[in-house]
Amino acid sequence: MSQRYEKVCDLAHLNAFATEIKDELGNAGVLLLRGNLASGKTAFVKAFALALGIKEAISSPTFSILHEYKGKLFHYDIYQCGSNGFLQSGLIEKLDTEGYHLIEWGDAEFEKLLHHFGIGYSTIDIEILDLKRNYKVHINAYA
């Protein structure tokens, strides 16, 4: 079942929102995070990690592409490598690993790649609204 909605949220309520998203995804999932630079993609991943009980420092894997936390949170940043680099790195196979795969910069080309491999995913598009963010959520965008 596909679900779409929008939510405006400030930093003080981000942890609760991330917990809602975790609950909607269930025990695992691929989640594409999209938005401009400094829109809050990594801040969302930090809040999501807290929802999973992960207390270690979370940073964007801009150059390493992937940071893995406790074997249950996989944080990707494909800004530098794009869809082709992601595919060439062999990381597409990592998406089969049980856990939550949060992917920053998962654009339409990346969605085509996921479709090609039959990988279900959800999306969150983040828009900046002064000190708040508007999150456009699409759970199970493709399954």
pLDDT by residue (tens digit) across 61-101?
A: 888 899 999 999 999 999 999 999 999 999 999 999 999 99
Of the candidates 58, 44, 33, the residue with the CA atom closest to the CA atom of residue 11 = 44
Task: Answer whether 0.85 is exceeded by the pTM.
Answer: yes
Strands (DSSP E) contained in the chain are 3-10, 29-35, 66-69, 73-77, 100-104, 121-129, 132-142
Q: What percent of the chain has pLDDT over 70?
A: 99
Residue that is written with structure tokens 């990690």 in the block: 49
- Per residue in 113-128, pLDDT tens? 999 999 999 999 999 9
Q: Residue 30: is its pLDDT beyond 90?
A: yes
pLDDT of residue 126: 98
Of the candidates 91, 90, 114, the residue with the CA atom closest to the CA atom of residue 31 = 114
pLDDT of residue 51: 97
The CATH class for the domain spanning 3-142 reads: alpha beta
